[in-house]
Amino acid sequence: MELGYEIPARVGQTLDEICTPALIVDLDAFERNVAKMKAYCAHNNIRLRAHAKTHKSSDISRYLIEHGGACGICCQKLSEAEALFRAGITDIFLTNIVVDPVKIDRLVELTKAARIIVCVDDMSNAKALAAAAARAKTVLECVVEIEVGHMICGIPVGSEMVGLAQFIDAAPSLCFSGVQAYQGLAQHTYEYKGRKALLDAAIYKTREAVALLKAEGLNCDIIGGGGTGSHSFETASGVYNELQCGSYIFMDADYFRVQTEDGSLISNYEPSLFLCTTVISSAKPGRAICDAGIKAQSVDSGLPKVYTPAGVTYVKCIDEHGVLTDPDNNLRPNDRVLLIPGHCDPTCNQHDWLVGIRNGLVECIWPITARGKFF
C-alpha cells in the first residue's frame, strides 16, 4: 500500500477529494485572525506570546513569530516544547510545572540551545530545578505561577510566594523572570459580567503579587496571562505585559458563545478551523450519519456546529460516527459536511495533519508536530 494514504490530501485537490474526517484551515480567515491580533497588540503596546497548545504545529508557530507579531511561543507540556524545538522554534515559555526528575533533566538540556522559561509554584520543585540546572552547568529561567482564581497550579499570593521568588533569584542556576497569572476559567465564561468579575479578581491578585515582589527588589520581566476569551481585560489592566492567546487563530463553537459587554457575541475573530466529514449513510429519513465521531474531535465543550450545508445540525457524537438531522433529506452518501469543532485545542491534538485551503483548493498540508505530546 502507498504510504501517501497516511496524508489526508494533496496540494491542488478540492475539498471533495480530501480523505475524511480531516481538519482543514481556511488560510484567508486564519491570516486575517493573525493580522488582527498582531495589530491589537501593537496598538495596545503589549507583547504576544502565542500559545502553541492550540495548534501544536511548527509551521503555525513559525508563521506567528514571523508574521503574527509573536515574541515567542507558549507550550503546555515538555514533550510539546521538545517537538517544537526540534522543528526549529527557539523561544518557548512552558506555562506549566515540571516535577518528574527525568523531565527536569530534559527541560534543563533544552536551555543550552533555546530560550526556555518554566513555571514554578513549589519550593521543593524550585530546589530540584536549581540542582538539575547546576549539574548541567546552565541557567533556567523561572516564573512563579500564582493563584488568581483558576485553582489549578499556582501558589497563593503572599509571603511564601515572595520567598519562592527570592530563592529563584538567589540561585545561581536559576533566573527569576516574573509571574504567570492565567485565569483559565474566565476564557469560556459566556456572560460578560461573570467573566469581568473573574478577571477583576485575577488582575487584583496579579497587581498585588507584582507589588510584593517589587518591594523586595524583584522586577518581573514577564507578567503573563490572558487567553482569547479574556485578553481585553488583561490588556486594559496595565499590569500584564504579555498575552498568551492561542485559540484566536482558529476559534471554535464554544468561543462563539462568549459574549461582549453589550450581549453580542465576540466577533473580532472568524472561524478558520473546520472538521471536514463525509456522509456515509442516509438510510433513514430526516437524518444522515457522517464519519466524524469522538475519535476525530473533542466534545468536552459541546458538540460541533455545522458550517455547511445550511439546514443540517450535528445532534449526536458517537465513537466513530456523527448523527446529523437533515429535515429536507438533502444529504446523500459521500456528501461533505464542514463542522466548526466544539473545542479547537483538544481536537487538533487528535489529528496528525492540518490541510490548508485557499479558494477551494488545498494549498498546504501541515503536520501537527506535537500531536499526542501531552507528557
Site for its own copies in 213-232 (CB under 8 A): none
| Part in contact with its own copies (CB under 8 A); list of ranges 211-219, 235-243, 260-268, 350-358 | 350-358
78 CB contacts (<8 Å, ≥6 apart)? 94, 98, 103, 106, 107, 375
Reading the block at residue 321, the C-alpha cell is 460516527
Site for its own copies in 116-155 (CB under 8 A): 121-122, 124-125, 147, 151-155
98 binds its own copies (CB under 8 A): yes
Cα–Cα distance for residue pair 227/98, rounded to 1 Å: 22
Q: Do 107 and 142 meet the contact criterion of CB atoms below 8 Å apart?
A: no
Number of residues that bind its own copies (CB under 8 A): 72
Q: Do 73 and 92 meet the contact criterion of CB atoms below 8 Å apart?
A: yes
- Residue 97 backbone dihedrals phi, psi, to 5 degrees: -100, 140
205 CB contacts (<8 Å, ≥6 apart)? 146, 147, 148, 149, 157, 181
53 binds its own copies (CB under 8 A): yes
66 binds its own copies (CB under 8 A): no
CA 96 to each of CA 69, 169, 336: distance values in angstroms, whole numbers, following the listed order:
23, 19, 39
Report, in Å, the least distance between residue 312 CB and its own copies. 16
105 binds its own copies (CB under 8 A): no
Report, in Å, the least distance between residue 147 CB and its own copies. 7
189 binds its own copies (CB under 8 A): no
Site for its own copies in 235-294 (CB under 8 A): 278-284, 287, 289, 291, 293-294
Report, in Å, the least distance between residue 292 CB and its own copies. 8
- Select 36 or 361, whichever has its Cβ closest to its own copies: 361
Q: Which of 33, 58, 61, 76 touches its own copies (CB under 8 A)? A: 76
Report, in Å, the least distance between residue 152 CB and its own copies. 5
- Select 41 or 338, whichever has its Cβ closest to its own copies: 338
19 binds its own copies (CB under 8 A): yes
The CB-based long-range contact list for 70-79 (8 Å cut-off, 24+ gap) reads 71/47, 71/242, 72/115, 73/49, 74/49, 74/50, 74/244, 74/246, 75/51, 75/370, 76/51, 77/370, 77/373, 77/374, 77/375, 78/103, 78/106, 78/107, 78/375, 79/370, 79/373, 79/374, 79/375
Report, in Å, the least distance between residue 151 CB and its own copies. 7
Write out the DSSP string of 124-135. Answer: HHHHHHHHHHHH
Report, in Å, the least distance between residue 238 CB and its own copies. 27
Report, in Å, the least distance between residue 90 CB and its own copies. 14
Site for its own copies in 299-338 (CB under 8 A): 299-300, 317-321, 323, 333-334
79 binds its own copies (CB under 8 A): yes
Report, in Å, the least distance between residue 300 CB and its own copies. 5
